[in-house]
A and B are shown apart, each in its own frame.
Chain A
Amino acid sequence: MSAERSRRRGEPRGAARNRWRFSLAVTLVLLATLAADSRVGLVTLPRRDEVQLTIYNSADITLVRERRTLTLSEGTNRLEFSWAGTLIDPTSVQFLPLTHRDDVSVRDISFPPGAPNSLVWILHSEVSGPVKVEISYFTSGLNWGSDYEAVLDPKAAAMDLNSYVRVENHSGETYEDAQVRLVVGTIHLVEKIADLARRGGRAIPPKVQAKFRNAVQRTAGIEFLAEAEKAVPPAAPEIIKEGLSEYFLYTVSGKHKVEDGWSVRWPNISVRDIPVENFYRDRGGGIERRGIEGPAGHPVRRYLKLKNDEEHKLGSEPLPDGTVHVYQRRQDGSRLFLGSSHSKYIPVDQDWEIEVGEDPDVLVKDVEKDKQVENVVFNSRGRPNGYDVHQLREISITNSRPFPIQIEIFRDFSGDFTLEGVSPAEKYDLDTVRFRRRIAAFGAERISFGVITRKGVRARR
């Protein structure tokens, strides 16, 4: 693939090869040294048989687990592992034999002087021949994110939802045929992996780091997917989802090339005809902006309201945070762009409000219709020291959309106030009211209410 691309740009073949070839940043050098003999008996560069990436999105950390087959000699073996040009945390590198577990053991780990990005395992083997081992480490520079494409039908009553997961690799290392796993959730880290990588192999792993490493490796699971998954299926990869402690794990089926510098995006969920509510919310303020404030008021933020549950054809998994682009389908099948926003992480069974942006066709205007000072009281010298302000307020809502809308209007008050004409159900908290209305297509409504604010000695709070 990569050579292809380069050739198309007219570069010589050799240049293409250098540019794109697997960087060999992580190399394994196996030196089987006979105890008293200075001869180097065997040097091999075993390939990765398998590699698994577990990428977290809440922090810049990825657990890499790779399997290689070493050819060991009976006795002491030196195994060098180096990672120049990558963002690997040297404190996290672990070695585990998968076959001959009782016969192969790590005697020492050495960080040789003058070689900042390498370590040497001194292994003792009771057997001679191929041994399957797993090497794992943390790297930074790989991250993943989610994004969404929401397409409303022409009547704005239902939407199609497509989501994608996107992996970016700036780790300095290319992973061929990797199994990709993505963790949804927030993990706790005490040190940044990128910082540990920058400090090099000299860093001594503190105890807390080791404890954390064990915890993450446990949550990241042990098993690779079955062998059958190895071949690239000529079909869209499926994103397999499962719960894991307080996290959620996405496994992208199949093996994928995750090249350094590249990003890859895979389709995730795709659901059609989800019923949505056209919902608007106004929190006041923001008046007289961009010349859009007309005689009928200021535009209101529009949301699509749904729930991450079965009724809305979702509910089988939490929805990771990410950008949502909202479109609407025209009668001819093409789309118009309504707006985009960042969605929060949505747990299963929680309401999901997709913000579309300000809608200039739904306007809210606040008017103080009347204001009178009443009940003036006087101090012992006969001077005014308290009074009430009676306000008559009006909120007018104009829906110029060809569909009915739900609207929620919040208004804050301060001081010692009493509201008149506001039902107890409309009180949101101590200082806030929330009016909820349904406005018909091309409809309008006025909400009138009174506010009495006590000032000076009349105020009791």
Chain B
Amino acid sequence: MVKAVWEGGFRKAAAVSSLVAILLVGMKTSARVKLATLPDRAFLSLSLENPSRSFVQEERILTLQAGLNEVDFSWQGVRIDASAVLIEMLDHPDSVKLVAVRYPPGEDALVWEIVSAEPVTERVRVSYFLNGIRENYSYAAVADTEETRLDWRQYIRIENASGERLENLIVHTGIADPYQTELEAGEMRKTLVNKERIPLRKRFVWDAAKKPHDPSKEKKNVGVPIFYVIENSSAQALGRYPLRAGKVRVYQEDAHGSNAFLGEDWGRYTPVNGEMEIQVGESRDIVVTRKEISRVRNFERRDRDNRVVLYSERSVYEVTIENFRKEECEVRVLDHFSESWSVIESTHPWEKVDSRTLRFDVPVPAGDSVPLRFTIERRNLVPGGALG
């Protein structure tokens, strides 16, 4: 709360706002006319495009006299970087000029010295960085029964710990169209900012580095992770803004007009035309078994003591994918090898994603089992490891 006291004992308590602009219209001499106006905010916006700083812009109407005017801007109970407070003249930028900004010692305040060619009512835009605004992003997605489309909802939650009441606030998030809201001091508010019906791709991913290779030896079922994949592109009704990192909760419509919770995951920041992968759970109706079938040393070199110093070998692997579901599915198989390796042959198309990762996308018909068989050659190995 701000107390403002003017000449003549006129006292006005501005309980509404802790950000107060006081206009003192000065004549050139020290005997100023004390015109006490407390201009209301004509417009208030909060920009959250840069996650590191909350940027506030407000418009106010100032009544200026010809000559030098001093406008006092002060704030109590809120934290603002005084050196980054800006003022812009909107109506008469050529005849109303900022001459100087003065910063009094030990106060959360500044004084703008504004020169006007004639008496005017000037709309000004004041902007500053406001501390204490925290935002987070979340998503709720409801899949249809066929799991081909998602009802996609994006939310922003803003916590206003700035100490300032923000009324008639336009929020620019950078991830949706701007919207209007109110934020009491201390209030936290979650707002739906975007809602679309978007296509969904479902992906089963079995990773040899993360899952047991022989599920028949396990006491519990081994699940194959299920991902919902959405594309942030205009072709898929999104793609106008990036998607911020945030929690995604996934539900599915059930047969009774209600829906059930499938699972949740952290969605990563997804630029326009990027892809967001959301793990919803694991399927126990797909069983993947990986076996090394054979290993043959096809090259060997020995030193003068007849010890093996360098060799190459070929291994045959068989990955069996069983689909106990009622629909066909595509299972992504990731396998990992290190050092000098290459694929010699394979029953399915493959991609070397990087020097340690081999990837297959294998379609598996409903109720069927598909054997994936491939041969890897590892070269220039030394006993107990590899060169390089």
Determine, out of A45-53, A66-74, A94-102, A329-337, the stretch whose residues face the partner at the interface. A329-337
**How many residues in A have their beta carbons less than 8 Å from beta carbons of B?**
66
Residues of B within 8 A of A296 (CB): 271, 274
Taken residue by residue from 100 to 134, chain B's Cβ proximity to chain A (1 for < 8 Å, 0 otherwise) reads as 11111110000100010000000001010100000
User: With the chains together, A10 CA to B106 CA distance in Å?
Assistant: 17
Residue pair B49, A382 in contact (C-beta under 8 Å): no
Cβ contact within 8 Å between B271 and A361: yes
B53 located at the interface, meaning its Cβ lies under 8 Å from any Cβ of chain A in the complex: yes
The winner among B100, B125, B266 for most chain A CB atoms within 10 A is B100
Are the C-beta atoms of A382 and B47 separated by less than 8 Å?
no
B242 touching A361, Cβ below 8 Å: yes
| A357 partner residues in chain B, CB cutoff 8 A | 50, 52
Structural contact, B4 and A263, CB atoms closer than 8 A: no
A371/B340 in contact, CB under 8 A = yes
Pick from A134-142, A229-237, A405-413 the stretch touching chain B: A229-237
- Cβ contact within 8 Å between B310 and A376: yes
Contact of A292 with B272 in the complex, beta carbons under 8 Å: no
Are B340 and A373 closer than 8 Å at their CB atoms?
Answer: yes
User: Of residues 211 to 252 in A, which have CB atoms within 8 Å of B's CB atoms?
Assistant: 232, 234-237
Q: Are A370 and B352 in touch, CB under 8 angstroms?
A: yes
Main secondary structure of the interface of A (DSSP, over half): strand
Compute how far the CA of A182 lies from the CA of B86 in the bound complex, rounded to whole angstroms. 23
Other-chain contact of B57, A10, A260, A334 (Cβ < 8 Å): A334
Report A343-370 CB contacts with B as 1/0, cut-off 8 Å. Answer: 0000000000000010011010001111
Whether B371 is near chain A, meaning CB under 8 Å from some CB there, is: no
Quick check: is B24 within 8 A (CB to CB) of the other chain?
yes
Query: Are A292 and B269 neighbours in the complex by a CB distance under 8 Å?
Result: yes
Q: B99 to chain A: which residues have CB within 8 Å?
A: 235-237, 266-267
Q: What is the CA–CA distance of A339 and B51 in the complex, to the nearest angstrom?
A: 10
**Partner of A373 from B47, B242, B339 at Cβ < 8 Å:** B339
Instruction: Please name all residues of chain A whose beta carbon is closer than 8 Å to the beta carbon of B111 when the two chains form the complex.
Output: 1
B24 and A372: CB pair below 8 A? no
Q: Is the CB of B28 within 8 A of A262?
A: no
A41 interface residue (CB < 8 Å to B)? no
What's the least CB distance linking A453 to chain B, in Å? Answer: 9
* A207: chain B residues within 8 A (beta carbon): none
Q: A337-B50, A361-B272, A387-B387 are in contact. List 20 more A-B contacts (CB 8 A).
A: A9-B3, A232-B68, A234-B67, A235-B97, A236-B98, A237-B100, A261-B105, A262-B102, A263-B102, A265-B101, A334-B45, A335-B47, A361-B242, A367-B353, A368-B355, A370-B355, A373-B379, A373-B388, A384-B382, A387-B388
User: What are the nearest 6 A-B pairs in CB distance?
Assistant: A261-B105, A382-B303, A400-B271, A337-B55, A263-B103, A265-B101
Give me the interface of A with B, judged by CB distance under 8 Å.
Answer: 1, 4-5, 7-10, 147, 149, 164, 166, 232, 234-237, 256, 260-267, 291-292, 294-296, 323, 325, 330, 333-339, 357, 360-361, 363, 367-374, 376, 378, 381-384, 387, 389, 391-392, 398, 400, 442, 455
Could you jot down 7 A-B contacts, CB within 8 Å? A232-B28, A264-B103, A339-B52, A357-B50, A381-B304, A383-B309, A384-B309
